[in-house]
């Protein structure tokens, strides 16, 4: 099977930005927030309840995720409801999960 060649820029600035982007996924709390948002929109308190993370820490992590364009929000009155920014976000996480599962590093239980 021939793999499709992807045109990837490898200049220092681009590689630095990609490295910084992947660092966002290096936090268990942020990943659990992203998982919670996989197929639904949620308010901060709902995310906190699902992830067992305090609402103030959820808000902080959501700010990081927003700054990196991984989640977006919409105001509903005084509250904000969050969702994944686009399908690329869930695809990246599913790809990482699939890779680790394939290597036997995680089990799907």
Statement: 12-102 belongs to CATH 1.10.10.10:
yes
pLDDT at 38: 96
Q: How far is CA 59 from CA 12, 16, 36, 39, in A?
A: 32, 26, 14, 19
Q: What are phi and psi of 56, to 5 degrees?
A: -70, -40
Q: What is the pLDDT of residues 31-86, one digit of tens each?
A: 999 999 999 999 999 999 999 999 999 999 999 999 999 999 999 999 999 999 99
What phi-psi label fits residue 22: left (phi over 0), alpha (psi between -120 and 50 degrees) or beta? Answer: alpha
Nearest CA among 35, 31, 28, 33 for reference residue 45: 33
Strand partners, 79: 76
Would you call 81 helix, strand, or coil by DSSP? strand
Give the residue extent of every domain in the chain: 12-102
C-beta neighbour count of 58 within 10 angstroms: 26
Q: What is the pLDDT of residues 3-37, one digit of tens each?
A: 676 778 889 999 999 999 999 999 999 999 999 99
């Amino acid at each position: 099977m021939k793999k499709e060649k992807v045109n990837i820029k490898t200049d220092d600035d681009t590689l630095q930005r990609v490295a910084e982007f992947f660092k966002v996924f290096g936090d268990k709390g942020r990943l659990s927030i992203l998982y919670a948002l996989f197929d639904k929109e949620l308010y901060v308190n709902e995310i906190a309840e699902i992830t067992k993370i305090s609402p103030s820490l959820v808000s902080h992590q959501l700010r990081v995720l927003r700054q990196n364009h991984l989640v977006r929000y919409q105001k509903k009155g005084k509250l904000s409801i969050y969702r994944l920014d686009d399908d690329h976000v869930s695809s990246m996480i599913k790809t990482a999960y699939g890779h680790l599962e394939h290597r036997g590093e995680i089990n799907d239980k």
